[in-house]
Structure 1
Amino acid sequence: MPRYIVRRQAESYGHDIGILLLDCRTPFIPGDVGNARTYGFPVLYRTMPGVTLDRLINQADRSMEQVIVENARTLEQSGVCAITSDCGYMMHFQEVVAASVQIPVMLSSLLQLPFVSAMLGPDQAVGLICANRQRLTEDLLAPLRASMRCNLHITGLEHAPNFRGPILDETDVLDSDAIEGEVVAAALDLKREHPEIEAWLLECSNLPPYAHAVQAATGKPVFDFVTMINSVQAAARRQPFNGYY
C-alpha cells in the first residue's frame, strides 16, 4: 500500500481543480463554472470574501490582491493540480497569482484567445461574447492581442435584461431559457456584422451552459471556461492509454 502524508491545510482530499469564487450570490446552474456537476472530476471551491464583481472590474482597485493570493495558496496547499476562477475579469490578477504558487494558474477564459487565434487564418476572426463590453478594457486584452494572428470582434450582454439581472445585478431568479435566447441573439448579431468569425470565445463563467446553443446557431467552435478547465485537468491528471492503435 502507498504511504500518505497529511496536508495540514487540507480539509478534504482528492480534488483536481481549485476554483476561486467571487463574493456574490448568483444561481450556478449545471454547466456553470460554479456548479460542481459541470465536471467529470472533483473540484474544490473557495470564496474570496470581499472580492466582488464591482471591485474586480475597477482595474485600479489592487487592494484585493492579497486576499486573492492567500486563497490561491490555500487551494494549492489543499492538493489541487491547478487553479482557476469564476470570472474572466480575474485576468487582472493572472500574473501575480501565477507567480505566487507552484501549480498552473488559469484565472480567465481569455487566456485561450492566442490559442484559438492560432488555429485560424489571417482573414478570419474570433467572436468574443462577454458579460460587460464596457468593462472589457483594452489594457486587459493588450497582452493577449499581442499574441493573436487574426482579428477579434467583441459584444457584451450588459443590456440583455435576463442576463443582467441575475449575473450582473445579482437578483434572485435566473431564467436559463431566456438567457440562452439573449446569448444566441448576441452571437448572430455579431456574426452578421462580421461574417469572417470562425470561432467563439465566451468570457463569462456563467455562459458555458449556452455554448451548445451558440454552436448550433452558428456552426462554429465555441471555447469557454469549461473547455479551458477540462484541458488543463486532462494534462495534469494523465491516465494510462487503454485504447487501440
Structure 2
Amino acid sequence: MALQSGGKTVYGATVGILMLETRFPRIPGDIGNATTWPFPVHYRIVPGASPDRIVRQDARQMRDAFITEARALVAMGCDGIVTNCGFLSVLQDDLKQALGMPVAASALMQVGMIAQTLPPGKRVGVLTISKNNLTPDHLRAAGAPLDTPVMGTEGGRCFHEAFLEDHQQIDFDACRLDMVDAARALVRDNDGIGAIVLECTNMVPYARDIRVATGLPVYSMYTLVTWFQAALSPRRFAMELDDPR
C-alpha cells in the first residue's frame, strides 16, 4: 500500500450536516434520516435552534452557535458543511468565512444555476414552508433573484404547522397532499415556471410526487448535497484500455 497521509480522526464521511434541534419524525428522504444518503455523513445538532426560531425569527441571532457546531464537524473530519434548513441561507457567508472550507447552507443556492439551464421565457419557482417569512434577505444571501416566484404551505392540512411547531406525530400522507397542492398553485399562479426548488429539507420525500403532478424538474437539498459531496469525494473510475491484439 502506498504511503498515506493523516490529519483527521474519522475518515470516509466528507459531508457534515448542521441540524436544528427537533423532535418530529424524519422519514427516508428527509435530510435528518441517515438512510437518505448514498454516502456516509456526520451530524451535529445546534442546541436551541428550533424551527420556530430559525424560520419565524432571525437565524442570524444564532450565528455563533452554528459556527461552534460547524467547527465540531470539521474537527470530526468533514471537508464540507451543509445545513438542514433553507432559511439558513442568511448564515452562508458567516459559516464559510469562519470555517475556511466549502459550505452549502440552503437549497435556494441552486436557483441561479438552474435558471441557466432553462429555455427563454422560463424561470425557477420556489416552494417554501413559510412564504410569509421568506424575505429578500434569504433570497439575496442564496444568490437567488429577488423576484423569484414563491409559494408557501400556509393554510394546508398538516405540513406547515407540523414541522414549524415540531409535532411528535405527523400525518405524512396529508403532508404529501399539501406539497402537491402547493406545487400546482405555484405553477397556476405564476407564468413560465420551468423548474421548482424545494426550500425546506423536509419536502424532499415528496419531490417525486411534485414532479409527477407538475411535469417539472424538482430540485432540493438532496440534489444540492449529492452534487456537493461528489466534488468532496470524487468517484474513481476504472480505466479500461483497448486490447491491442
Same fold, TM-score > 0.5, yes or no: yes
1:66: Cα distance to partner?
1.1
Equivalent position to 2:205, from 205, 209, 214: 209
- Structure 2: segments with no counterpart, 5+ residues: none
1:226 partnered with 2:222 = yes
Q: 1:190 to 1:60 in 2, by over 3 A?
A: closer
Structure 1 residue matching 2:39: 3-state secondary structure: coil
- CA–CA separation in structure 1 for the residues paired with 2:240 and 2:172: 40
Distance 2:223 2:4 in 1: 34
In structure 2, give the amino acid aligned to 1:30: P
Of 176, 180, 195, the residue aligned with 1:180 is: 176
Q: Deviations over 1:210-243 (max 9, x none)?
A: 0000001111110000000000111111122238
**AA aligned opposite 1:157:** T
User: CA separation in 2, counterparts of 1:143 and 1:93?
Assistant: 8
Q: Shift in Å at residue 6 of structure 1?
A: 5.9
Would you say how many aligned residue pairs link Structure 1 and Structure 2? 240
Give the fraction of aligned pairs with identical amino acids, expressed as a percent.
34
AA matched with 1:216: V
Matched, 1:162 2:181: no
Within the candidate set 70, 75, 78, 1:77 is matched to 75
Does the 8 A contact of 1:20 with 1:46 survive in 2? yes
Distance in 1 separating the partners of 2:239 and 2:149: 40
Alignment-mate amino acid for residue 222 of structure 1: V
Structure 1 residue 80: Cα displacement: 1.4
Counterpart CA distance in 1 for 2:215 and 2:100 is 39
One-letter amino acid of the structure 1 residue matched with residue 65 of structure 2: V
1:29 to 27, 30, 45: 27
Once the two structures are TM-superposed, the CA of residue 158 in structure 1 deviates from its matched residue by 2.5
Cα distance in 1 between the residues matched to 2:85 and 2:194: 24
2:113 is matched with 115
Q: 2:54 — aligned with what?
A: 56
Distance in 1 (alpha carbons) for counterparts of 2:151 and 2:137 = 17
Q: Is the partner of 1:127 in helix, strand or coil? A: strand
Letter in 2 for 1:181: L
Give the secondary-structure state (helix, strand or coil) at the position aligned to 1:95: helix
Secondary structure of 2:169's counterpart equals: coil
**In structure 1, what is the equivalent of residue 45 of structure 2?**
47
* Distance change in 2, residues 1:244/1:230 (3 Å): farther
RMSD between superposed Cα atoms in Å: 2.2
> How far apart, in 2, do the equivalents of 1:244 and 1:128 lie?
43
Shift of 1:151: 5.8
Aligned-partner Cα distance in 2 for 1:90–1:98: 13
Alpha carbons of structure 1 residues 58 and 184: separation in structure 2 relative to 1, 3 Å: closer
Displacement of 1:76 in angstroms is 1.1
Conserved? CA contact 2:19–2:46, under 8 Å: yes
Distance in 2 (alpha carbons) for counterparts of 1:219 and 1:100: 40
Provide the residue aligned with 1:93 in structure 2.
91
Aligned to 1:192: 188
Distance 1:50 1:164 in 2: 20
